[in-house]
Structure 1
Amino acid sequence: MLLVASLLVVIWGGGALLRLSAQRRVAAMAAVWALVVLTHLILPPEAGLRLATGGDARGWLVLGGVVAVVGLYRLVIRALKARVPPPAPVADPASFGAVELDRYARHIILREIGGPGQKRLKAAKVLVVGAGGLGSPALLYLAASGVGTIGVIDADLVDNSNLQRQIIHADARIGMAKVQSALVAMRALNPFVSLRPYQRRLTEDIAADLLADYDLILDGTDNFDTRYLVNRSAVAAGKPLISGAITQWEGQLSLFDPGQGGPCYACVFPTRPAPGMVPSCAEAGVAAPLPGIIGSMMAMEAVKHLTGAGETLRGRLMIHDALYAETRVIAVKRRSDCPVCGGTA
């Protein structure tokens, strides 16, 4: 037995050194096995060669049978694998096809964004709360910019009175859910982005789970209850928040990011205005282009934050007076006694 085993090792190892194929080495080993079995079948039991190779053919026959079964199993598996079509290649989520490269070329040639910045935009997930006056331009420009995943949450339906300023909607979509109307417009603008509509109001019971799945939050809502809820949830989830607001001829926005040392919304606006103190757009009116200006700036801040370009409005509040064409930026600081973000950085 030892003699045959040594011979088989020599055949396998020596064949490898001589660069013989595995099939040829297996064939040579099979020939040795057949010769040993034949020796046991022909020679008498007392023959020295037969005694040197175990004295009995049954062991060799069992060994040959096991090897044959294993070999047959491998052949069957190989044949089955050959019949299965190869899996489709998984696309790199940050890679771009020729159409996308052409689409985003004006971004890519910007030194501050370039290819790496555009990849970061494609890999980013941004949630926009509200598909109204501010959400409309923000959503369109986020989609146009190539933000990979855009979520939008709003419970309202498109109304005729919205169309004076909410440019993502259309007359033909009056009565449609705003999130679905926004989807129609964004898909028509850029089919390469993933869209997630949530047709409901943002409430305390879903806010934490919803915001946790996004990298950046944009708040374009028109009521203070939701603004404070979005801020609390963003701080708790450690998500930066771009918040905008408009009334009549004036708008403001900032990037609230306590995780990076900036203030949160409650640091700057610690007290909710009393009911009736700040009239709604329906009550006070709003110039049609104003939400376009502020909403577009919100998208601009999002692009800068996600790509690392330039200087964002973290720690600063921009106030725009459209009536007198004046814009000013004031510094805002974090409050150590803020009940929402104090001491969490």
Structure 2
Amino acid sequence: MDGDSTLEPRQRDRYSRQLLIEGIDPADQRTLLSSCVLVVGVGGLGSSIIQYLAAAGVGTIGIVDDGRVKRSNLQRQVVHTVDDIGDPKVDSAARFVDALNPAIDIETHETRIEPSSAEALLEGHDVVVDALDNFVGRFVVNDAAVLAGIPFVHGAVYGFEGQTTVFRPDGPCYRCLLPEPPGEEGIPSDEPMGVFPTAPGTIGCLQATEVLKLLLGIGEPLEGHLLRYDGTDATFLRTPLKRDPDCPLCGPNGPEIESLETVAYDDRCRIERSASTE
């Protein structure tokens, strides 16, 4: 079968540069066009992730954020503009994607990720991406992804630095990397934290790359490794990450959990106990 026949002429033109890469053919592009990715957070990381997934032709992108665009966001959150100030971030991001690639379907969820809603938000997606700026939200996304059997691409930035990795159902999860939220001395206060403008772009691009690799089944995903970036000296450090046998969620001695509704969290999203299946 002639692979080009699987794409329309405009699609072959739009995605022609990636189709010239050895190992990526029109059938792979059709895979991207039929894929569905959920991006949780539409700030600095989310801006970079969303625009490159849309540019690459990921057919459906769900975006979750309960925030509104502020002037201080514009220094790094590049899908938003001055005209968007005051608008919901999900609406601003949807307009950006529509202008970049009108063929992409955007599903907007103007809400905060919570244990009560996470499983429903993740349902039907091939990959979920962490573009959050808080630990509690990451734990909720991680837990829902583990229970749903969905790959989870993590990313975080602070100052000049950032990190990213991939969690898959048969590997370590976020709680293996960070068993519980840091103590109060290790958590940034409610005051705005410093972020170098390009740091989220760097990490977000890496996250988008990992998402595309997962969807296409190419290369070696970052599963089992944490990639740290320091913009001050342009260095990357790749360290192994193994499953924690004492992990309360994915460890071999962990409880059997069918739904987040059976998980009891404390006020910082640590698992206190869970209802085992009968």
**How does the TM-score come out when normalised to structure 2?**
0.86
CA distance in 2, matches of 1:95, 1:125: 19
The CA deviation string for residues 165-222 of structure 1, in whole angstroms up to 9 with x for no partner, is 0001001110010000000000100011111000111111111111122110001100
CA distance in 2, matches of 1:147, 1:280: 36
- 1:151 aligns to what SS in structure 2? strand
2:65 is matched with 154
- Percent identity at matched positions? 41
Residue among 96, 109, 126 paired with 1:215? 126
CA distance in 2, matches of 1:110, 1:104: 11
The CA deviation string for residues 71-124 of structure 1, in whole angstroms up to 9 with x for no partner, is xxxxxxxxxxxxxxxxxxxxxxx9432111100011111113222221211111
Do the aligned residues in 1 keep the contact of 2:6 with 2:26 (CA within 8 Å)?
no
Do the aligned residues in 2 keep the contact of 1:248 with 1:281 (CA within 8 Å)?
no
1:184 is matched with 95
Given the alignment of the two structures, is residue 273 of structure 1 paired with residue 162 of structure 2, yes or no? no
Between 117-126 and 281-290, the greater mean CA deviation after superposition:
281-290
The CA deviation string for residues 239-261 of structure 1, in whole angstroms up to 9 with x for no partner, is 1100100000100000011x2x3
CA distance in 2, matches of 1:281, 1:301: 31
Amino acid at match of 2:96: A
CA distance in 2, matches of 1:212, 1:107: 29
CA distance in 1, matches of 2:66, 2:11: 32
Do the aligned residues in 2 keep the contact of 1:267 with 1:333 (CA within 8 Å)?
yes
CA RMSD of aligned residues (A): 1.6
Amino acid at match of 1:333: K
Q: Tell me: CA distance 1:280–1:197, structure 2 relative to 1, closer, same or farther (3 Å).
A: farther
Amino acid at match of 1:198: H
- 1:292 aligns to what SS in structure 2? helix
Structure exhibiting the larger radius of gyration computed from Cα positions = 1
Amino acid at match of 1:278: I
- 1:195 aligns to what SS in structure 2? strand
The CA deviation string for residues 250-294 of structure 1, in whole angstroms up to 9 with x for no partner, is 00000011x2x3210101111211234132695431100000000
Given the alignment of the two structures, is residue 229 of structure 1 paired with residue 140 of structure 2, yes or no? yes
Q: Which has the higher helix share?
A: 1
Relative contact order, CA 8 A, sep 6+: which one is greater?
2
CA distance in 1, matches of 2:244, 2:110: 35
Counterparts of 1:1-345 in structure 2 under 5 Å? 95-257=6-168, 259=169, 261-279=170-188, 283-343=192-252
Q: Tell me: CA distance 1:206–1:101, structure 2 relative to 1, closer, same or farther (3 Å).
A: same
Q: Return the offset for 1:337.
A: 2.1
**How does the TM-score come out when normalised to structure 1?**
0.70
Q: Which has the higher strand share?
A: 2
Q: Tell me: CA distance 1:119–1:288, structure 2 relative to 1, closer, same or farther (3 Å).
A: same
- 2:213 aligns to what SS in structure 1? helix
- 2:227 aligns to what SS in structure 1? strand
CA distance in 1, matches of 2:237, 2:32: 28
